Homo-oligomer: A and B are copies of this chain.
Amino acid sequence: MPDTQFFHRSRAFTLSEIAALTGSVIADGFDSDMVVENVSPLDVATWTDLSFLDNVKYKDQFKETKAGACFVHRDMVDIAPEDVALLISPTPYKSYALAAQAFYPQDAFEPQISEHAFIHSDAKIGQGCRIDAGAIIASGAVIGDNGWVEAGAHIDENVTIGARCRIGSNASLSHAVLDDHVRLYPGVRVGQDGFGFAIDPSGYVKVPQLGRVLIGSHVEIGANTTIDRGAGPDTVIGQGTWIDNLVQIGHNVKIGKGCVIVAQVGISGSTVIDDYVVIGGQVGIAGHLHIGSGVRIAAQSGVMKNIPAGQEMMGSPAMPIKDHMRQIIALKRLAKR
């Protein structure tokens, strides 16, 4: 059961309520009026808890779970413990997510402007906002309705933030325009100058960085991630793209819609990434490249060339996964001779 110090449950639910909220079906023989009090992982759940099995790696935990009810795929019904009320779902993890959102509504907060926030008189704060102590909002900045600026976050001059955005603790944001429902995690740096200089025998000549960062709706940007503003064009993050922690995104990069970018990835300047691209942890992508729609890149790969839409890539230098697997096997054999 989630720690009540940190998480506030809304209420209990019946199985029929849960089924309706989550696109799941109560298995035959279970009582639709049964009440579940909470959500919990398989291995610690008790008879009043709702749990889920999604990854087969946790099959053994499922067999021994004491949970009262459980989301599960039809294929796993046969190995279910007898007493667990089953909620059959084609996507048990998504069903669990929706149930957990019902038990623990996300980002609910009391509107409140802390008297210890530093808000410039020329900043505009929307209706229903929460601005925490130590937050700094500069002249001309606009915070949309129902926004939340956490402690110590710094919103620089003329930054525009849409409705229902949340800016994490001690984050820094400049030269940026955010659509609605954007979430920046603690320590994010958005909008600083990119790494732009012209080489000169007498030293480097700084190239003024005159673009912005444009962030689409429903984007999430993980803790301590850095996104440089454009050099002339803008840096753009498309709608619904999720970026994990400690990612580096260079100036002028354009990322499409619905991409997933795992922790510690680095994307060099002016690269264009189309929609629904998935990039594994610690991948590096060189500058001025084009990565097609739906591309998937395995963790730690190093991308040095354009990638056509739909390809799955791996390795450093990155190549189609099956070529890389063949190289791994060939090298293994060679070393054994």
Contact = CB atoms under 8 A, between A and B. Distances in A.
Contacts of A189: 169, 185-187, 223-224, 245
Interface stretch (A29-37, A79-87, A134-142): A134-142
A41 B269 CA distance: 14
Nearest to A43: B233
Contacts of A152: 134, 136, 152, 154, 170, 172
Given A204-B240, A246-B246, A262-B195, A134 B118 contact: yes
A20 interface: no
Contacts of A151: 118, 136, 138, 154, 156, 172
A235 interface: no
A24 interface: no
A48 interface: no
A180 interface: no
A208 B52 CA distance: 14
Interface of A: 2-3, 5-7, 39-41, 43-44, 55, 57, 91, 93-94, 96-98, 100-101, 103-104, 106, 114, 116, 118, 132-134, 136, 138, 140, 150-152, 154, 156-158, 160, 168-172, 174-175, 185-187, 189, 192-193, 195-200, 203-208, 210-212, 218, 222-224, 226, 228, 232-233, 240, 242, 244-246, 248, 250, 258, 260, 262-264, 266, 268, 281-282, 284, 286, 288, 299-300, 302, 316-317, 323, 326-332, 334-337
27 contacts: A2-B232, A3-B212, A5-B158, A5-B160, A39-B232, A100-B207, A100-B208, A104-B208, A118-B134, A134-B136, A151-B154, A152-B152, A185-B192, A186-B189, A189-B223, A195-B244, A195-B263, A223-B228, A246-B246, A246-B248, A248-B281, A286-B299, A326-B335, A330-B331, A330-B335, A331-B331, A334-B334
Q: Which 6 A-B pairs have the closest CB atoms?
A: A94-B198, A172-B186, A2-B210, A169-B172, A189-B223, A118-B133
